[in-house]
Structures are given as structure tokens and as C-alpha cells.
Chain A
Amino acid sequence: MSILEVKGVGKRFGGLQALSDVNLSVRENSVHAIIGPNGAGKSTLLNCLVGKLIPDTGSVMFDGQSVLGRAPYEINQMGISRVFQTPEIFGDLTVLENMMIPCFAKRDGAFELNAIPSMMGQKDIVERAEHMLTEMNMADKRHDHAAALSRGDKRRLEIGMCLSQEPRLLLLDEPTAGMARADTNNTIDLLKDIHDSRDITIAIIEHDMHVVFSLAQRITVLAQGTPLVEDDPENIRGNPKVREAYLGESA
């Protein structure tokens, strides 16, 4: 059964048709990679899924409900969490506070005026955040300023924050961009662990073929704003159309 169903999505920026007639179906509890050369429309597509952009045409259904026209925070509350290309965390807050915020979002919803109860009384939230930090191997850094973390740790923290909301769909936008090989492999292992240990669907936009073929169970290839093929990894590897899109016609 598919948890995310994209049908006929198109998006135009001025004279540029960034997306045209994109169809995509992400199966529940799978790891689905979206690949494609630069300018293929991967990020535009992702932004259409999370509410940052509204497509001109088509529909995006998550778990049977349309996400179109909803604000990013509403879509997140439906169960879609997003990891950014450069880690987006709360740099001025401590690591523990960073982890507590999604826990509050999960418990209290999009807004709660809890201005009087003290932080000390929020035992369930603190416990949950501590637990998540332990799972991410970051418990010893809980009182550090998040801005002072290394890039790899920021990425781990961001993924942990997303997971603490128990999302049904985790979207990752080039999570290993700019990483050294060792960090990339760590991230691959982390994502594998995450997928093995819980009921979660992962959709990943990625450039690095090593990452894609280590993780993905299903791959969609995007070229010039439209999907070229959607298939299993072994069939994608040898597909001449994909080679052509990536390497040019001469290949």
C-alpha cells in the first residue's frame, strides 16, 4: 500500500517549467530514493510535498488525505518530517532543548500557551528527549549549545528531532551532501538502523549513488522536471535511459 501518492504534479516558475506531470508512489515502510541530475526538479518536488510550495496542477495525497494548501506545520503534524540539506536546528538552544521542542509539538500540537508551568514539571518530555538523545549517541552532549556541534552531530541531532515526533514518513534532502566518506557511511548505517527498528517510510533525495544503492528499495529517476522511470534498484543500474539522463546522449 502506498503512503504517499503524487499525481500529475506540475510547477512553473516564470518561464521555467520546473515540474511537469510528476507521478510518484511511495510504498508504506519502504525506502524510496528520488534521484536525478542537477536541475531535475528534485528539491522543487520535495518542497511541494511539505507545504513550502503549492503545485500549479495535480494532487499530493498522504495517507489518503490531501496535503495541498496546508501550512508546513500542519503537514508535519499529519506525520511527515523533513531533514534539510544543511542541518536546520535551533543553534541558540542546548542539544537537550532542541530535542524537547519536537516532543512538545508531538504532545501539545501546533500551539499551547504553557507560559506558567515550569520546565522542571515536564518530566515526560525531558525523559523522552533524553531517551532519544541516548538513541542518537548524543547524551553526553546534552548541555552543549547546538550551534557548537560538528556538522555530523548536527545532522544526527536533526534526524533525532524528526524521529522523536514518530513520523510516518521521513523526508531527507541530500543528507550526505558535503560529507566525508566515513561520515557518509555512518549516516547510511544510521538510516538503516532507523528503518529496521521502527515502522517508518523513508523518502530520500540523493546525489550520491553509493548512498542510493546502499539504502533504496525503490528508485524514481527525475530528469527535466518529469519522472523518467520508477523501478527497483537492480533495474535502474542498467537502464539506458537513466545513463543517458546522467551522462548525456553520447553515453
Chain B
Amino acid sequence: MFGLTKKDTGLLIVVAILTLLAPFILNPFPEGSAMAQFNAGYPDLMQRFVIFGIFAIGFNILFGLTGYLSFGHAAFLGVGSYAAIWMMKLLTMNVLPAIIISVLVAGLFSLAVGWISLRRSGIYFSILTLAFAQMSYALAYSVLTPITGGETGLQPKVDDPRILDAALAEGATPKANIFGLQMGQSFDLQLGGWLFTFNAGYYLAAVVMLLAFYLSIRIFRSPFGMMLRAVKSNQQRLNYTGLNPKPYTLAAFVISGMYAGLAGGLLVAMDTQVGPERMFWTASGEVVLMTILGGAATLIGPVLGAGLIKYMENILSKINKDVLHQWFAFLPDGLEDFIVAIVYPFVGKGWHLTLGLIFMAVVIFLPGGLVEAGQRIARLFRRKTQDKTTPAKTEPAE
């Protein structure tokens, strides 16, 4: 179906079901229960799951397939965001033109950056992309303040031109919408103790993410995708086989830059503001972590990695001392304080520490990321069922 193999179609359908049912799946605990703080099914976070999923999917097309490690992809995300916000200021609060222009501008910018950075490979390429991203950050932060709003960033204002939109009613603020449907609009479903929120913005982002995911499957399975894997495997042989690696890597770079721009545009569509910190090098590093954590060069890995990191960033970081004391209240006082003192550095503001430990564990024990973990578990189950069904037939050991 859709020009995919059975296996890939299956994966796409599973991902589609999971994304569309996310408001249910991510809210497994009833409101008001002690576990409710682990619910991730609120619009703000769900939007970030899918948007950073797009970012990581695109990054994986470059890093996973060609092996070129870009350390500056946040620059393309940021450029996309600025482009989108300007569309909202000048043209219309409809998110469609904003998203389209963010992809195009990020594509052009990544063409320029890639053209220069891809003259080198390995660590030098990474350093060049990092340098470009930090320059972009510095420009956005100070030099280009008239365009970027500097430190404070940009957001649509009541008196912006917006030539396509009708004048705002008295006292109204401009809100992002798609043909009138506001991104912030939500429908709440109360079922017993559970509350499920269906948000227009989330579903727009989710549909875009599914399209982006589908496109990435097509790229992975295309002759172009095979050439990119060949670039990673042996550039020398590629050169002596009559193929020019440079346009292949540049095309991969631009495609992944456009994915980043798309993510940037969607971020603005969901939350109409942008600041330079979006381009800071830690943001570039984050997408590298997402991809490796989930499983580089796998289709679904980057999405999983993005989900895990964003979940930890938003849920783990909310656990403060009071919450911990509540959890361990059943312990004797001295022991309670002791346990809280030990756990506290790993949660709240210290969630990066937990992330670092998980990342180390994954790199050392699961080089294939979460996807490899899943594969290992699946293999374990398969072996067990095989043992049960064919106990008499034992293969001789090699």
C-alpha cells in the first residue's frame, strides 16, 4: 500500500493509530490521582512530541543514512520559526503560509550552509555546522535585532499589517488558525475520572508528522536512500563507481534542513512566539541525543527518542522536593529524608542527570537505541514461544 512493503505499511499504520489516539494513550491515570502527574496527554506536550519527532526524523535522514553528524540543525529550526512568525505578522494568522515559507526558507539556508560545510567530512564537518549555528544564534540575538527581535524575540502584535486578514475586533488578540479553526481550540472528553483533551493544533501537527514520517520511509527505501547508505559505507568505492557523493550528501542535508524548518514553523503555529534560544547549540545537541537514543538509521527510532526526551523534560522536571516527600511519606522520618536526598538530584532541575545516565547506558549496552531494545525483547518472546511449541526438536549447538 502507498508504494510501501507490507512491513513498512504496518509500521506506518501503527504509528498513525498511536498518534491519533495519543490523547487517550498518554493519559492513562485518572484526574486527581497520585499518578496524574505522569499524564502526558495535554496539548502543549503532545504538540512538542510530534514536532520534535519531525525534527528528529529529518535529522536522521542526514545522520542515520549518510553518517554526517550535523551539530547545527537547530539553526534551521530557528530560521524556520522566524520565517513563520514574519508570515503571521505580514500576511495572515493562517498557519498554512507560515509553515510553507518556513520549509522553503530553511531549505535555502541549509543549501548555503551545506554547500560550505560539506567540503569537509567527519569531525570538521560537525565543527563547521556548529560554527554556523552559533553564528546564527549570535546574529539573531544581537546583530539582526530589527528582524529577529533580539533577546526578547518576536510575536504577532495587534497592530501588525497582516494584509490578508480582516481587521481584528476591538480588544482581540491575533490567534493562529487554519481557515478559521484556532490552533488553541480543544474539545474535552470527561469519562469517569479521566479527562481527555483533543486539541486542533495537536491534530494538525500530528497529520503533518505522519506525512513527514511517510515521506521519510519513501526516502529510506528509494534508490536515493540506498546511495546515501553507500556514502556512509564507502565513499571511495562510490567515487570509483562513477557516482558523485557530494550532490547526494548535499541533497540529504537540504532535505533534513527542510524537515527542521517544518518543525520550526509548526512550533510557531502552535505557540506564536520565537526567541534566539531556539538556535542555541544545546538545541542542536538535543536532536542528536534524540536520534541516537531512539536508534539512528531506523525509521521509528528518532520519534521514540524525541518522545522520551520531551517526556522527561516536561514530566520528570516537575517532580520537586514536596512531591518526593509525599511519595516517601510512609517511611520513618530519617529514612524519608535520606531517600529524598538521594533521589532529588535526579529529578526536577536535575533531570538532565537522569537523561545523561540513560544516554550512557543506551550507547554502551544498546548501540541501536530503543529500537534495538524492542527488537531484543521481541526476539526473547519469539524464542520462548518456539521453545514451547517445539520442545522435542532441539537443534544441535554449533
Q: Which residues of A contact B (CB under 8 A)?
A: 50, 71-73, 76-77, 81-82, 84, 88-93, 97, 100-102, 104-106, 109-122, 125, 161, 165
Q: Which residues in B have their C-beta under 8 angstroms from that of A105? A: 241-243
Output the least CB separation between A193 and chain B (Å).
22
Output the least CB separation between A101 and chain B (Å).
6
Which one of B223, B224, B248 has the highest number of Cβ atoms from chain A below 10 Å of its Cβ?
A: B223
Is B244's beta carbon under 8 Å from chain A? Answer: yes
Q: Which residues in B have their C-beta under 8 angstroms from that of A121? A: 3
Q: Which residues in B have their C-beta under 8 angstroms from that of A165? A: 241-242
- If A91-B233, A93-B230 touch, whether A116 touches B222 (CB-CB below 8 Å) is yes
Contact B242 A77 (CB under 8 A): yes
24 residue pairs from A and B, CB less than 8 Å apart: A71-B239, A72-B239, A73-B240, A73-B244, A81-B240, A88-B236, A88-B240, A93-B226, A97-B230, A100-B223, A101-B227, A101-B243, A105-B242, A106-B242, A110-B242, A110-B244, A111-B243, A112-B223, A112-B224, A115-B251, A116-B218, A117-B222, A118-B222, A119-B226
Nearest B residue to A104 via CB reads B223
Residue-wise interface mask of B (1-23) relative to A, using a CB-CB cutoff of 8 A (1 in contact, 0 not): 00111000000000000000000
Contact A115 B243 (CB under 8 A): no
Q: Which residues in A have their C-beta under 8 angstroms from that of B321? A: none
Output the least CB separation between B2 and chain A (Å).
10
Contact B240 A115 (CB under 8 A): no
Q: Once bound together, how far apart are the Cα atoms of A24 and B160, in whole Å?
A: 74
Contact A119 B221 (CB under 8 A): yes
Q: Which residues in A have their C-beta under 8 angstroms from that of B240? A: 50, 72-73, 76, 81-82, 84, 88
Q: Which residues in A have their C-beta under 8 angstroms from that of B221? A: 118-119
Is B255's beta carbon under 8 Å from chain A? Answer: yes
Q: Which residues in B have their C-beta under 8 angstroms from that of A117? A: 222-223
Q: Once bound together, how far apart are the Cα atoms of A50 and B221, in whole Å?
A: 32
Is B131's beta carbon under 8 Å from chain A? Answer: no
Q: Once bound together, how far apart are the Cα atoms of A76 and B226, in whole Å?
A: 20
Q: Which residues of B contact A (CB under 8 A)?
A: 3-5, 218-219, 221-227, 229-230, 232-234, 236-244, 247-248, 251, 255
Nearest A residue to B3 via CB reads A118
Q: Once bound together, how far apart are the Cα atoms of A119 and B217, in whole Å?
A: 12
Output the least CB separation between B239 and chain A (Å).
4
Q: Which residues in B have their C-beta under 8 angstroms from that of A114? A: 222-224
Contact A120 B242 (CB under 8 A): no
Q: Once bound together, how far apart are the Cα atoms of A91 and B235, in whole Å?
A: 11
Contact B232 A92 (CB under 8 A): yes
The 6 closest A-B pairs by CB, nearest first: A76-B242, A115-B224, A105-B242, A90-B233, A92-B233, A110-B244
Contact B222 A100 (CB under 8 A): no
Q: Once bound together, how far apart are the Cα atoms of A165 and B240, in whole Å?
A: 11
Contact A71 B237 (CB under 8 A): no
Q: Once bound together, how far apart are the Cα atoms of A93 and B238, in whole Å?
A: 13
Output the least CB separation between B144 and chain A (Å).
33
Q: Which residues in B have their C-beta under 8 angstroms from that of A89? A: 234, 237
Output the least CB separation between A98 and chain B (Å).
9
Q: Once bound together, how far apart are the Cα atoms of A105 and B248, in whole Å?
A: 13
Besides A50-B240, A73-B243, A84-B236, 14 more A-B contacts (Cβ < 8 Å) are A73-B241, A76-B240, A76-B242, A81-B240, A93-B226, A93-B233, A101-B227, A113-B224, A114-B223, A114-B224, A115-B218, A115-B225, A119-B226, A125-B223
- If A101-B241, A110-B242, A165-B242 touch, whether A88 touches B234 (CB-CB below 8 Å) is yes
Q: Once bound together, how far apart are the Cα atoms of A121 and B5, in whole Å?
A: 12
Nearest B residue to A92 via CB reads B233
Contact B241 A113 (CB under 8 A): no
Q: Which residues in B have their C-beta under 8 angstroms from that of A92? A: 229, 232-233
Q: Which residues in B have their C-beta under 8 angstroms from that of A104? A: 223, 227, 243
Nearest A residue to B228 via CB reads A115
Nearest B residue to A171 via CB reads B240
Q: Which residues in A have their C-beta under 8 angstroms from that of B229? A: 90, 92-93, 97
Contact A90 B230 (CB under 8 A): yes
- If A92-B229, A120-B5 touch, whether A115 touches B219 (CB-CB below 8 Å) is yes
Q: Which residues in B have their C-beta under 8 angstroms from that of A106? A: 242
Nearest A residue to B2 via CB reads A118
Q: Once bound together, how far apart are the Cα atoms of A118 and B9, in whole Å?
A: 13
Contact B223 A119 (CB under 8 A): yes
Q: Which residues in A have their C-beta under 8 angstroms from that of B225? A: 115
Q: Which residues in B have their C-beta under 8 angstroms from that of A113? A: 224, 247, 251
Nearest B residue to A114 via CB reads B223
Q: Which residues in A have their C-beta under 8 angstroms from that of B222? A: 114-119
Q: Which residues in B have their C-beta under 8 angstroms from that of A118? A: 3-4, 218, 221-222
Nearest A residue to B226 via CB reads A97
Contact B226 A71 (CB under 8 A): no
Output the least CB separation between A207 and chain B (Å).
22
Q: Once bound together, how far apart are the Cα atoms of A76 and B221, in whole Å?
A: 26
Output the least CB separation between B320 and chain A (Å).
46
Q: Once bound together, how far apart are the Cα atoms of A105 and B245, in whole Å?
A: 12
Q: Once bound together, how far apart are the Cα atoms of A50 and B241, in whole Å?
A: 11
Which one of B227, B230, B237 has the highest number of Cβ atoms from chain A below 10 Å of its Cβ?
A: B237
Q: Which residues in B have their C-beta under 8 angstroms from that of A73? A: 238-244
- If A73-B240, A90-B233, A90-B237 touch, whether A101 touches B226 (CB-CB below 8 Å) is yes
- If A90-B233, A91-B234 touch, whether A71 touches B218 (CB-CB below 8 Å) is no
Nearest B residue to A105 via CB reads B242
Q: Once bound together, how far apart are the Cα atoms of A115 and B236, in whole Å?
A: 22
Output the least CB separation between B41 and chain A (Å).
35
Q: Once bound together, how far apart are the Cα atoms of A28 and B395, in whole Å?
A: 57
Q: Which residues in A have their C-beta under 8 angstroms from that of B224? A: 112-115
Q: Which residues in B have their C-beta under 8 angstroms from that of A109? A: 242
Q: Once bound together, how far apart are the Cα atoms of A115 and B225, in whole Å?
A: 7
Q: Which residues in A have their C-beta under 8 angstroms from that of B237? A: 88-90
Nearest A residue to B219 via CB reads A115
